[in-house]
Amino acid sequence: MEKLPKITDSNLLVGLETGDDAAVYKLGQDQALIFTLDFFPPVVDDPFSFGAVAAANSFSDVYAMGGKPLLALNIVGFPVDLPKDILTEILRGGYTKAQEAGCLIAGGHTVDDKEPKYGLAVVGLVTPGKQVTNAGARAGDSLILTKPLGTGIITTAGKQGVAEPQILDEAVRIMSILNADASSAMVKVGVNAATDVTGFGLIGHLRGMMVGSHTQARINLSRVPVIPGVWPLIEQGVVPGGTHRNLSGEGQEVQWHVDITLQQKLLLCDAQTSGGLLISVPETKADALLRELEANGVEGSVVIGEVVGAGTQPIEVLP
């Protein structure tokens, strides 16, 4: 996109420049569209679960901006020689999540593909000016994460056949959770910035937010929530390629405390699917947000660190 002409339009409230995953377009005084799409190959074997996770992930960019999904279209790649009931199950998983989100799936498009792929293009609504972006974090904010890390490592273990079934089930359960309740909590309390944690891992998405906001973050590894069972897998060397790429990319721009091990760095860089919201909230409102998240049933949200003024490196990680 960098090589293409830059698009500017007074109604385009959020475009490419803040590094956000969704575009926001103002329709009128009261309404703006949020528009986003996401699709990927199966992260788990079960087609229904894959569909549900992919849909939850696609809605996530709307929720991260404080909006509500309204309408979606299926994006499907599917091999001609695979049984069609597998595709039906993928779509059923997606429809189930869409129903939960109160979003209509109104059609879509399928192409022949060597490997299945599924996701949604989603249109959501937000009040113009109320959209939450990557770019509003301020020094002194608390950083809150609403889902534990480790889904990349666990799904890789699943593909390699080395994941305990209950660990895999827990990862699927966590990936399937809509970020709807986390989003409504943050909208109610009022926050400075938010993003969802997906393929670039916690470090990559936090870095995007800090660069977009011209701030720096200091996080504590010990505070970061992790899905139980992840550490032994990392120690066995079960780490997805995307996670290694994240560490050798964005991970190089992090000021790592000397006590942080390679395994710990990999966890913080783990490529997530349908991860939680990473929210930058004024410190004075952090407790209120945690209470609201809990009241909304968002389990295990925690403060993982804080935003400090602009420094030499966008992120510092302490033990």
Task: Give the binding site for Co ion (CB under 5 A).
Answer: 21, 38, 61, 196
Minimum gap (Å) between residue 263 Cβ and Co ion: 26
Q: Which CB, 192 or 272, lies closer to Co ion?
A: 272
Strands 315-318 and 216-220: parallel
Neighbours of 128 (CB within 10 A): 17
DSSP three-state, residue 169: helix
CB 130 within 8 Å of CB 189: no
Minimum gap (Å) between residue 258 Cβ and Co ion: 32
Q: Which CB, 21 or 316, lies closer to Co ion?
A: 21
Minimum gap (Å) between residue 13 Cβ and Co ion: 17
Which residue has its beta carbon closest to Co ion? 21
Minimum gap (Å) between residue 58 Cβ and Co ion: 7
Minimum gap (Å) between residue 59 Cβ and Co ion: 10
DSSP three-state, residue 109: strand
Q: Which CB, 61 or 141, lies closer to Co ion?
A: 61
CA distances in angstroms from 262 to 132, 235, 266, 270, listed in the order given? 33, 10, 6, 12
| 108/87 Cα distance (integer angstroms) | 13
Q: Which CB, 266 or 277, lies closer to Co ion?
A: 277
Tell me, what DSSP letter sits at residue 16?
S
Q: Which CB, 49 or 273, lies closer to Co ion?
A: 273
Nearest to 274 by CA among 167, 166, 180, 207: 180
Dihedral pair phi/psi, residue 190, rounded to 5°: 90, 115
Q: Which CB, 50 or 256, lies closer to Co ion?
A: 50
Minimum gap (Å) between residue 120 Cβ and Co ion: 11
Say which residue the tokens 């992260």 belong to: 43
